[in-house]
Amino acid sequence: LRAELGRMERLSLVGQMAASITHEIRNPMAVIRGFVQLMKERSPGDQQGYYRIVMDELDRANSIINDFLSLAQNRIVEKEKCSLHVIINDIMPLLMADANMRGQSIELHLADRIPTLMLNEKEMKQLILNLARNGMEAMDQHGVLRLETTAYPDYVELCVTDSGSGIPPEKLERLFEPFFTTKTRGTGLGLPLCLSIVEGHGGEIAVDSKEGTGTTFKVKFYRNRNYIGATTATAAGMHLA
Ligand code: ADP
Ligand code: MG
């Protein structure tokens, strides 16, 4: 027990340091981005492409930092009674724009009625966006992404299914490891963050995948595990490292 406590304390110290470093890096980056934007506006047309790349890469670095920060911090997650369907409807325009750009489509199969749950709206949006984007990134043109909700007596299930490449068995077990990615421009922080969000809601996440056919991520939110008020989400994924 003593050894385990030491390990946890070290992890949380490293987590705190990482959190404050990333926090400090964000400010100068925001300033850099502002000036690059200004320089871009004042530059001739043949240089616009270079500035575009600089800004895209800054944005990418920023999203790595943001994901890492959400993961490394022990954050207090405020929850309120809300409907998963309202949240899904809110992010649909974003998802549709993404899908349209890729020539893909989205199918919604929402349950007729689902109970309200104690959720953190911002984290729910982050969760669904992450799962949906992974699904789209795994599919070619004409791929179909399916969002489905089902109400069971004890829980609500959300399934995100893609008709993409699928995941080979040896990679399945590494999906939730921080920094595990098979993409040249991936961060490998999306799924660890999803796991942390789901666990912070007392829920469960599972994956079902068949190579060449597609992948389904299933998330369960239990009605009787609806925490009242705030709970602390620990950096679930970080403990794997
Ligand atoms: P990233 O998307 O930045 O690579 P994630 O943590 O979101 O990081 O995902 C980790 C890895 O899991 C991906 O690189 C990919 O190999 C695999 N993966 C996740 N979702 C899917 C999916 N729907 N279909 C196929 N592979 C997936
Ligand atoms: Mg991802």
> What's the CA gap between 239 and 201, in Å, rounded?
18
Report yes or no: 180 and 195 within 8 Å, Cβ to Cβ: no
- The one-letter amino acid code at 223 reads R
What is the CA(34)–ligand 1 centre distance, in A?
A: 31
> What's the CA gap between 169 and 137, in Å, rounded?
19
Would you report the helix, strand and coil content of the chain in percent, each value rounded to 5?
A: 50, 20, 25
- pLDDT 10s digits, 89-118: 999 999 999 999 999 999 999 999 999 999
Residue 160 CA: which ligand 1 atom is closest? 23
Closest listed residue to residue 32, CA positions, set 54, 53, 52, 49: 54
pLDDT of residue 236: 41
- Ligand 1 pocket mutation pick from 175, 194, 196 by most atoms within 8 angstroms of CB: 175
Degrees, nearest 5: CA angle 123-125-128: 110
Per-residue pLDDT of the chain (241 residues; tens, 9 = 90+): 555 656 556 667 777 787 788 888 989 999 999 999 999 999 999 999 999 999 999 988 988 888 888 887 766 789 999 999 999 999 999 999 999 999 999 999 999 999 999 999 999 999 999 999 999 999 999 999 999 999 999 999 999 999 999 999 999 999 999 889 999 888 899 999 999 999 999 999 999 999 999 999 999 999 877 554 455 554 443 433 3
Q: What is the DSSP letter of 33?
A: H
* pTM score: 0.82
Q: Where are the alpha helices (DSSP H) in the chain?
A: 2-41, 48-72, 84-102, 121-137, 169-172, 190-200
- Ligand 1 pocket mutation pick from 181, 213, 216, 217 by most atoms within 8 angstroms of CB: 181
Q: Is 183 in the pocket of ligand 1 (CB under 6 A)?
A: yes
- pLDDT 10s digits, 162-197: 999 999 999 999 999 988 999 988 889 999 999 999
Report yes or no: 76 and 227 within 8 Å, Cβ to Cβ: no
Report yes or no: 230 and 77 within 8 Å, Cβ to Cβ: yes
pLDDT of residue 156: 96
Which value, in Å, is the radius of gyration of the alpha carbons in the chain?
Answer: 20
pLDDT of residue 235: 46
